[in-house]
Structure formats: C-alpha cells, structure tokens
Chains A and B, each alone.
Chain A
Amino acid sequence: MAQKQQKKVTDLPSLLLELGKSADFIHETMRLHKGKIDLYYFKTLVDLSLMKKDFLPNIKKTESPSLYDLEMTLPFNQVEVSSDVQLIETKLLQGCVCIQTHDSNVEAIIVPLEDDNLRDITVPEVEFSVIGPKQAFIEHLRTNIQLIRIRLPIKEFKVIELQVGTLTKTKVALLYLDGIADMENVNTMKQRIEDIDFDHIDDSSYINQMIEDSSMSPFPQLIDTERPDRVSAVLSEGKVAVLVDGSPTAITGPTTFIEFFSAFDDYFSRWHVSSIIRIIRLFAVTFSIFATAIYVAVLTYHSQLIPRDLLATLIQSREAIPFPPIIEAVFLELTIELLREAGARLPTKVGQTIGIVGGIVIGTAAVEAGLTSNILLIIVALAALASFTTPIYRIGNTIRLLRFPFLFLAQLWGLIGVFIGFGFLMVHLLGLTSLGRPYLEPIFPPRLADFKDSVIRLPFSMQNKRPEQLRTGNSTRFNKKKAKAHHDIDE
C-alpha cells in the first residue's frame, strides 16, 4: 500500500490533477489587470480569514502577474518560488497556497497560510503541583518548543527536527543543551527515532515505546512529562528531550528507576519535606506490591509469623469466609482494578461518583456478605491508594500490574515464592538500561554522589554537580566555594 501511495509524481500539472481528486482541494483562476493566475490550496488547511484579509487584496493589487513580482509584493515570510514537485506537494499538504502564472508550467510560488488552530496553554492535570509554574504542553510542536526556549534563552539550546511515520509525517523535535548533554545520548536518541519504521504516529507514547531499550519489560524506561519546567530542568541536568507534534507530553531520558518517584514538586518544597515525601513514596510502592502477597502467604502457610495479639483479630475476620485467602485477595484486587478502570473511562464527574459510591458500597457489602475479611479490604484499599502516589502515571500502572504475579507466587510457595519473585524482579531491574545507562543507578552501580537527588533531595547548595549517570560534558552546575561565601549588602 505504502509503495503505491508514494508513487512519484514528476511534473507539476499531474500533481495538481492528482490532488484535485480530493473534494477540499481548490483550484481558482483569478483575473488580474494583466492576465490570469491560478491558485491551488486545500480549503481545510489554510487560514481562510487570513487569506481574505491579507492575501487576496495584495494579489489583486499586483501589476504584472509574473512569479518574481508576486514573490516581492506578497507580505508574507517564507514565500518562495520553486520548481521542485516534491517540495510543492509537501507544502500544499501542510497548508500553503500555491500560485501559478501562465508564463511557466514548472515553477510556482508557495505562500504559507496554514491555520494553526491552537488550543490554549492550560494547567497540568496529570502532574499538577500546588506551587510552581502552571503551564502544560499542548498539541502544537512550535508552541511547545517555544515554552522551553523561553526558559532557556541561550544559544546552547539546540533543536534537531526529524520526521517519522510514513502516513502521518509527524514532526519530532530532539532537544538538548550543547556542551552539557552527552552527545552519545543525543546521537542514540536521534538514531533510534530515525530508525522508527511505522506508518502512524499519534502521540509521543508511540515513540516512547518504540525507542525504549527493552520493550519486553513492564517498566517504562523513559520519563514522559507534560511540564515544560520539568523538561527544561532535565535539559540543564544534561538529559535529552523529545517533543512530538500533536502530543502534549515530552519524553526525557536517560532516566533511572528512582526518578519515576520524584515529583517536580519536590524541587519547589523545602528539601527536608521533599526527602521525606520521596521516601514515603518509595515505601508506598513497596507496600503496594508486597502487602497483599504477604497477607496471602502468611495466612496460607506461615501461621507462626502472626503476632499473638493479631491472631484473634485475623481468625475472627476470616471465620465466616468460605474462600481461601488467594480467592479473596484476587477478588478484591480485581474489584479495585474494575473501579479504577471504570472511573478512568467515564466522564470526570460520573467517574468520581463511581469511585466513591462503588468503593464504599461494594466494599461494605462484600464484608457484610462474608465474601472478604475487612482486614484484607483495608490492605487492598491501602495498596491501591499507595500505587497512586507515583508522580509519573505510567509507573503507577506497572506497580499495579506487578502485584498479580507476586500474589500468585505467594499462593504457590508462600513467602519463599514472594522472595523468588523479588529475586527475579531485582535481576530484571539490574539488567534494564535507559539509553544504555543503568536503570537502577545510583543504587547499583553504587554512586554515592548521585544520591543527592534520588531517594532524597538535598538542598540546592549541595547540588553543584550534574549526575554522574549522564556523563555530562560539563559536570559543574556552579562553583560551590564561590557560592558559599555570603556577602553582606554593604561589602
């Protein structure tokens, strides 16, 4: 199919004829004082009001309908005369107007009149923060790059533009800071994007999945964010970012596992607070993965592990339940997943109602009917809640998915099974890379210096070096010694 569609049209008249088969392609012949000109454009792509206001009046004023006169008189930038059929085709499909005079059959003027049709820049919804900038990316590449360039008004900020998708011809921009980012990362990212062979690219998440180091892993290996401030911050750390036209999320990398648990908020709060919150998040994730599995393992195999005081409570809560703990746990986990999925599919307001009413009603009813024990209900609900503390949405889904294998391993071999699963998980994480950099850094390989902004976030005065992980061209962010000296105002 693709081959047939890309059949080369070599001359201008047959190109225009081919395009003319589409109903929204307009061919207009205009009479001027001397002679006639032909206009070709897609009425669905060009900005019609701009055309009426600026384009047509100027055309009509023109004295002689020669191509070079027109190029001089038209008050638009990037007006060009070309005989390249390929270029004309591309430009027409991007929303340019093509003008042909009767002197030449091969040359035409291309006037960019595309309709941008922008939506407003809004508040970030997925990565909302109370403090800090309230801008999120939109679906327009140029605006998105602009949002970052405003934050980094330096000549080192470089953009490489690429195109992917045989059908969508999606524009992709690769952003980095020259002299800071490791060119190896830039080149890896660039090459991987260029190597993409796919017809339809809708969103950055397509590209994200196609350029990841391991697509078999459940763990995302590149961070996607909708915050321009986050992108500019990671660029100045020495990372590389990718923006995709038509997608309101940027991809940044290389990244580490720990970075998925750092919200951009953490840099806006005091470092003590954000350090503790990060530790809480990591604890919450561990709890979320292991809590139900350990409950099932202990209740099914290891009665000796239950403290004496808890024993009565646990036995009483299980007394009336006809199922073994695993059925009970899987039933509740699936209920929670159903509620979450239903909430995500429904419109916001209905979704909230489903969440609250469904959760409370089904939970209480299940306990009263004797289908589940209330202790497990608490554990499962807490585990679900804990999985929502992840600041990057994508990793939260991974965490929820990981619970199930652990649950089955707990039923198979008890706590030994849970630890076997943990072993496999660790081996998998140790083997993962992000753009070729170790995923579990700074835990392994242990790099003490990179702990300053991982599990904890130390104050900015101690963040004087860029992460070792990134092998930056210039590892110093500021001179610590100079920065330390406080100056009085009268000095």
Chain B
Amino acid sequence: MKRIKVVSFLFSMLFLMGCVPTEVIDELQLIHAAGYDYIDGEQVEATVSVPSYKGANQKNPGVIESETISAIGNTSKDIRSQMDSKSPKKLENSKLASVLYSRKLSEGGIFELIDTFSRDPSVGQRMLLLVYEGNTRSLLESHLTIEPEISRYITELVEQNTEYTDLPKTNIHVFLYRYHQEGMDPFLPFLGMSEDKLQVKGLAIFKGDKMVSTISMDESFLFKALVETFSTGTYEIQLDKEDYATFMNLKARTKYSLHYEVGLPVLTAKVKAEGALSEYSGKTLDENKIQEFQVKLKEELKTEIEQLVKKFQELDVDPLGLGFQVKTRTRDWDMDRWASLYPDLKVNVEVETTITHGGISE
C-alpha cells in the first residue's frame, strides 16, 4: 500500500511538470521602466521601456539600448493586452525598476495605476514611483548620451540622489504606506529635463493620490531632515555678498514632541544638525568665523523650516506626517477633527547646530 502511494506520488509529480509555466529569462521581454501620460479624462497612454541587446554576444557585450512599446487605453489591463499584441516576447514586470507619471496625470490622481503594481507579486516593493514634468513617452523614447539605456539612467539617478544627496527615500512601499496612513500625505520625486540631462527637480507633494504642488531641491534638504535621519545633506549659507560657506555630509535628525496650549495641540520639532564646513569663499576661517556660521546656520534653518511648514499648511497637505506625529501621542485621535485643526496648527521649530570642523586645510 505504502509503495503504491509513493509510486503514484512520483508519477503525479512527473506528469504535473507541465503544469508549472516556465519563464526562461531569455524568452521574456523584461520591462525596465514604464511611463503613463494623460490623454483625456478617461484614457491614459502607457509606454514601457525594454532593453535591446542588439549586436551583443557572449564575447562583446555591446551597448545596451532601450526600445519602447506604447498603448492607449482605459484600464491597465486593456493597455497590457494591447502591448502584448505588439511584443515578440512575453512582457514581464519582474524587473520593473521605475514607473513615471506625467505631471498632468498625477494632478488628476494616480492611485488606480499604482494599485495594479501593488497587487502584482512579481513587482518588487522597492520599485520607484516618479513624477515627470513633461511627456513620459518622449522621455522613454529619447536616447540620452550619458546612459543609452534610459530606464537605467532614471533609476540610478534617483537612487544616487536618495543615497548621497537631499532626496528622501521613496518607493512604492513608502508611497502606499503614506497614502493609507492617517495624518500623512505621500510625496514622490519630481523629475524634469535640464537641457539634455534628466534632473531631479525636487519633490511632488500629493494630497491623497492627487499631486498638488512641488518643492525645490533646496527645500528637499529641509524636508528630508524632518522625515528621516540622514547624514549626507548639503547646505549652503551666505553671510554677506562675497562670504558664503557650504556644508557637506550634514547629519540631521528631528525629534517631535507634543503639548497642549489652551486645549489645542502644539507640536515642537527639534532639529539637530551636525556637519563640517567643506567650502568657504573667504580668506581665513577661524574659531569666531565658525561660530558665526553656526549661529547663521541655526537661524536660517529655523526660518526656512518654518516657511516650509507654513507652505504645507496653506496647501492643506501633510507630507511631513505631522498629523501622524500627533496621532501617535494622542488617545482617541480623530481624523476629521485633525483635518480642521491642521491648517492653524502651531508648530515650534527648534534648531540645534554643531560645526565639527572647518575642513583639513589651514
């Protein structure tokens, strides 16, 4: 009896082999990047960028370029079937690294388009979502000289800026978390063209799934300091016309605390910034000068952060997650009540700065 069971198990294994669809890597058309553009209220145009290995062989890797496939439709399913009809190999999402949405489309709401990716198990949670100021199709079709494979260019550009400069960390997971979390609004990196180079221009700020505004790369540093701890910030301050200094590798972290004044919540953001002066235009940099810069840096950061918070309050968006900070410190937190409180919320900003050294030169 036991033997019959084992043999029948082995046989079923053998015959069920065919039931598992294989997806051999060279028989797939791996999508590396995708872009969505606004057509009209109902239809969107989707473009995918796939790598082409023309002329490359085992000995000569050649230059990898990218090709695009575009389709217009109502739903992503519809678009996908149109794309499949244009592709010689099976299109596969598994290596999708970045998805771009045009500004116009983003302003109308993009949740449905993101949702399809969040439901696809082959798509990674670290996939980048980006907002592009122009037409994404023309971007994906362009062949920029600095990196011929456009998807790689986009992905590496954003990754590099997240890791080494002032762009806060974003991906589909972060977006959906901030989208679903009460007291927070999502944000995405905002890209644009600058002559023949692609450039991170700042952050696109969302209210729900609709883009409402952008902030510049300078503001992005302050933004990053308020939402995460990092140590690679760059900031420039000016004492007077000819006397300015740049701080590199600025470490920044923020601690929030909450208290009540006359029954109303008051949020205090304590920003700690620590860094070294890496560039100075003046002649001598002595202890006094450094002290002077420190005070200046402190004042400037304080006013700018206050301005940034004010700006968000006026737009009635909360990408900093101030509502979330209050929520975690409040019992029986009520979203509707918070929504009415937020525009007039009093936010105290305290900045503490330390300049560790003035560089290695005397």
Chain A interface residues toward B at CB < 8 A:
298-304, 306, 308, 311-321, 324-325, 367, 373-374, 411-414
Q: How far is the CA of A314 from the CA of B92 in the complex (A)?
A: 16
1/0 contact trace for B13-32 toward A, CB 8 Å? 10001001011111010100
Q: Which B-chain residue is minimally distant from A414 (CB atoms)? A: B20
Q: Are B94 and A314 in contact (CB under 8 A)?
A: no
Q: Are A312 and B20 in contact (CB under 8 A)?
A: no
**Hey, which chain A residues are within 8 Å of B17, CB to CB?**
411-412
Q: Indicate which residue in A298, A299, A304, A367 contacts B124 across the interface (CB closer than 8 Å).
A: A304
Q: Indicate which residue in B26, B92, B122 contacts A315 across the interface (CB closer than 8 Å).
A: B26
Q: Are B95 and A311 in contact (CB under 8 A)?
A: yes
Q: Considering the complex of A and B, which 6 residue pairs feature the smallest CB-CB distances, nearest first? A: A304-B94, A318-B26, A303-B94, A299-B25, A316-B56, A300-B22
**Hey, which chain B residues are within 8 Å of A325, CB to CB?**
24
Q: Are B97 and A319 in contact (CB under 8 A)?
A: no
Q: Indicate which residue in A303, A306, A312, A412 contacts B53 across the interface (CB closer than 8 Å).
A: A312
Q: How far is the CA of A298 from the CA of B23 in the complex (A)?
A: 9
Cβ of A485 to closest chain B Cβ, rounded Å: 51
Chain B 118-168 residues near chain A, CB threshold 8 A: 122, 124, 152, 155
**Hey, which chain A residues are within 8 Å of B85, CB to CB?**
none
Q: Are A303 and B152 in contact (CB under 8 A)?
A: no
B323 close to chain A: CB less than 8 A: no
Q: Are A316 and B53 in contact (CB under 8 A)?
A: yes
Q: Indicate which residue in B20, B28, B92 contacts A413 across the interface (CB closer than 8 Å).
A: B20
A-B pair number, CB within 8 angstroms: 70
Q: How far is the CA of A344 from the CA of B323 in the complex (A)?
A: 74
Q: How far is the CA of A299 from the CA of B94 in the complex (A)?
A: 12
Chain B interface residues toward A at CB < 8 A:
13, 17, 20, 22-26, 28, 30, 51, 53, 56-58, 61-62, 64, 92, 94-95, 97, 122, 124, 152, 155
Q: Indicate which residue in B22, B58, B92, B122 contacts A316 across the interface (CB closer than 8 Å).
A: B58
Q: Are A313 and B61 in contact (CB under 8 A)?
A: yes
Q: Are B61 and A315 in contact (CB under 8 A)?
A: no
Q: Indicate which residue in B25, B58, B97, B155 contacts A303 across the interface (CB closer than 8 Å).
A: B25
Interface of B, helix, strand, loop or mixed by DSSP? loop
Cβ of A176 to closest chain B Cβ, rounded Å: 40
Q: Indicate which residue in B25, B57, B64, B155 contacts A314 across the interface (CB closer than 8 Å).
A: B25
8 contacts between A and B (CB under 8 A): A300-B22, A301-B20, A303-B95, A306-B25, A315-B53, A316-B62, A324-B22, A373-B58
Cβ of B54 to closest chain A Cβ, rounded Å: 10
**Hey, which chain B residues are within 8 Å of A312, CB to CB?**
51, 53, 56, 61, 64
Instruction: Say yes or no: A412-B13 contact (C-beta < 8 A), given A308-B97, A318-B26.
Output: yes
Q: Indicate which residue in B22, B51, B58 contacts A317 across the interface (CB closer than 8 Å).
A: B58
**Hey, which chain B residues are within 8 Å of A306, CB to CB?**
25, 95
Cβ of B123 to closest chain A Cβ, rounded Å: 8
Q: Indicate which residue in A303, A311, A316, A412 contacts B57 across the interface (CB closer than 8 Å).
A: A316
Q: Are B22 and A374 in contact (CB under 8 A)?
A: no
Q: Which A-chain residue is minimally distant from B124 (CB atoms)? A: A304
Cβ of A314 to closest chain B Cβ, rounded Å: 6
Cβ of B90 to closest chain A Cβ, rounded Å: 11
**Hey, which chain A residues are within 8 Å of B58, CB to CB?**
316-317, 319-320, 367, 373-374
Q: Are A308 and B95 in contact (CB under 8 A)?
A: yes
Q: Indicate which residue in A301, A308, A315, A320 contacts B22 across the interface (CB closer than 8 Å).
A: A301
**Hey, which chain B residues are within 8 Å of A367, CB to CB?**
58
Q: Which A-chain residue is minimally distant from B16 (CB atoms)? A: A412
**Hey, which chain A residues are within 8 Å of B28, CB to CB?**
303
**Hey, which chain A residues are within 8 Å of B155, CB to CB?**
308
Q: How far is the CA of A144 from the CA of B95 in the complex (A)?
A: 63
Q: Indicate which residue in B22, B25, B124 contacts A318 across the interface (CB closer than 8 Å).
A: B25
Q: Which A-chain residue is minimally distant from B14 (CB atoms)? A: A412
**Hey, which chain B residues are within 8 Å of A317, CB to CB?**
58
Q: How far is the CA of A412 from the CA of B14 in the complex (A)?
A: 9
